[in-house]
């Protein structure tokens, strides 16, 4: 796999023209989509439908090129000036960096109907993706609300209720973990990714913190928020999980995200609706909302959105076509097809209306659909990579070892993050 810095990407149909400004024009465009097989099938069908009616505005689509990460590949392409017009795999956490590079189009100011289209489709969720200047440089596209999966066979073996498990509070999970360990029903209770990668915070601390704090992001109003009571409760819970051996601080040898639960090594797993495809046929599972300190009711529990959005890049030659195709791809029909093809939810406020029949026939997805309005993503801030790295360093110092002064460690991390944001 090539390092992103060494990638030499072919110039696309989006390499010149109105890239420097002026009225957006129409014509052929290129797009990139995820390497996920189901998403590729959706993208190919959507592109084919568009091309059938727009022969002079043909869309050429391919998967994101290989590299260290999608974000590195896109960043390198921005530097080289050869991004595609659209990327249907733009991580909200990377938008600030892409924007700083001058790579993303200010949608709010470029297209007269951008604000109205995005607000109508995504409702209040759209505001969570605004940049500090109040503008939108990304189109909210899909969301994957996280839930807590549990292994029914493991629960039965541990003497726990496998159909209506008591898992609404941190104490509930700790009590279940104690029984799972003593019964040897599974080696661990929870086994989130334990490598030093800063993004792993999105699979352990952050989902539970969002649930426990009413959807408070890691940073708000240029200040770190995790030293609040809700943050300390979540940090304390995870420290207990590691201190008691209910979670493993060692990196998993297989698939570090889905593997421990899918392989039966962990009794529970934190994942979005995509977990169904990972776990079907491997474990018999159930799904419940994420736990909180006091047991917040399910219909009020926030969660991590794990969103992927669409970026329209400044090197695009034909921005008008890129915008029109974006809207076409996010029609009610195509959004319903996205859910049915991939099991991932479009970021829109009327999911039940556009996909009611599918949800009725596939009840597994209903709790995730209900959670879409309460799904929260990462804060859109400059220097977000360094912020998450600072947080993860503190995590490795005081949480993963199962010991350490959580208060002082994270107070220091919060001050460092506040200083980083102020710079």
Domain count, the chain: 2
Q: What is the pLDDT of residues 187-246, one digit of tens each?
A: 999 999 988 888 899 999 999 999 999 999 999 999 999 999 999 999 999 999 999 999
Q: Do 187 and 126 fall within a single domain?
A: no
Range of the domain at 286: 147-304+381-422
Q: What is the pLDDT of residues 38-47, one digit of tens each?
A: 899 999 999 9
Q: Do 336 and 385 fall within a single domain?
A: no
Q: Do 153 and 234 fall within a single domain?
A: yes
Q: Do 73 and 209 fall within a single domain?
A: no
Q: Do 334 and 261 fall within a single domain?
A: no
**Which of 346, 369, 403 lies at the terminal end of a domain, its last residue?**
346
In a domain, 118, yes or no: yes
Q: Do 229 and 196 fall within a single domain?
A: yes
Q: Do 332 and 417 fall within a single domain?
A: no
**Which of 328, 346, 364 lies at the terminal end of a domain, its last residue?**
346
In a domain, 275, yes or no: yes
Q: What is the pLDDT of residues 247-293, one digit of tens each?
A: 999 999 988 878 999 999 999 999 999 899 889 999 999 999 999 99
Q: Any idea what the CATH number is for the domain that residue 46 is in?
A: 3.40.190.10
Q: What is the pLDDT of residues 14-36, one digit of tens each?
A: 333 454 457 899 999 999 999 88
Residue 360 buriedness (CB in 10 A; 0-12 / 13-18 / 19+): exposed
In a domain, 357, yes or no: no
What is the structure's pLDDT at 18?
52
In a domain, 18, yes or no: no
In a domain, 201, yes or no: yes
In a domain, 163, yes or no: yes
Query: For residue 4, is pLDDT > 50?
Result: no
In a domain, 198, yes or no: yes
Q: What is the pLDDT of residues 352-372, one digit of tens each?
A: 899 989 999 999 999 999 998
Q: Do 325 and 296 fall within a single domain?
A: no
Q: Do 132 and 228 fall within a single domain?
A: no
């Amino acid at each position: 796999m090539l390092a992103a810095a060494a990638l030499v990407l072919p110039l696309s149909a989006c390499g010149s023209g109105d890239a420097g400004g002026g009225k957006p024009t129409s014509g052929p465009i290129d797009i990139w989509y995820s390497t996920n097989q189901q998403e590729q099938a959706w993208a190919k069908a959507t592109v084919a439908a568009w091309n059938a009616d727009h022969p002079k505005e043909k869309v050429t689509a391919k998967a994101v090129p290989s590299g260290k990460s999608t974000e590195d590949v896109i960043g390198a392409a921005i530097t080289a000036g050869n991004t595609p017009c659209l990327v249907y795999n733009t991580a909200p956490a990377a938008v600030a960096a892409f924007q700083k590079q001058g790579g993303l189009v200010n949608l709010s100011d470029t297209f007269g109907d951008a604000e109205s289209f995005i607000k109508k489709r995504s409702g209040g969720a759209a505001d969570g993706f605004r940049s500090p200047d109040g503008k939108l440089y990304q189109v909210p596209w899909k969301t994957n609300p996280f839930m807590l999966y549990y292994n029914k066979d493991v629960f039965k073996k541990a003497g726990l209720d496998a159909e209506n498990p008591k898992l609404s509070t941190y104490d509930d999970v700790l009590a279940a973990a104690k029984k799972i360990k003593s019964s040897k029903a599974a080696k661990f209770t929870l086994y989130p990714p334990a490598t030093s990668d800063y993004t792993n915070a999105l699979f352990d601390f952050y989902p539970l913190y969002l649930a426990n704090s009413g959807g408070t992001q890691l940073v708000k109003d240029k200040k770190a928020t995790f030293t609040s009571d809700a943050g300390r409760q979540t940090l304390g819970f995870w420290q207990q999980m590691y201190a008691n051996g209910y979670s493993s601080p060692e990196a998993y040898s297989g698939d570090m995200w889905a593997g421990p639960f899918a392989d039966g090594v962990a009794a529970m797993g934190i994942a979005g609706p995509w977990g169904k495809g990972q776990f079907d046929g491997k474990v018999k599972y159930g799904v419940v909302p994420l736990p909180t300190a006091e047991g917040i009711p399910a219909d009020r529990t926030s969660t991590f959105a794990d969103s992927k959005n669409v970026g329209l890049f400044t090197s695009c030659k034909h921005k008008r076509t890129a915008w029109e195709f974006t809207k076409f791809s996010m029609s009610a029909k195509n959004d319903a097809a996205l859910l049915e093809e991939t099991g991932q939810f479009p970021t829109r406020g009327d999911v039940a209306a556009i996909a009611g029949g599918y949800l009725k026939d596939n009840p597994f997805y209903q709790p995730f659909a209900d959670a879409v309005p309460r799904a929260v993503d990462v804060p859109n801030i400059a220097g977000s990579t360094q912020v998450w790295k600072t947080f993860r360093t503190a995590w490795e110092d005081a949480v993963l070892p199962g010991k350490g002064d959580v208060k002082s460690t994270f107070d220091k991390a919060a001050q460092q993050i506040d200083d980083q944001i102020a710079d």
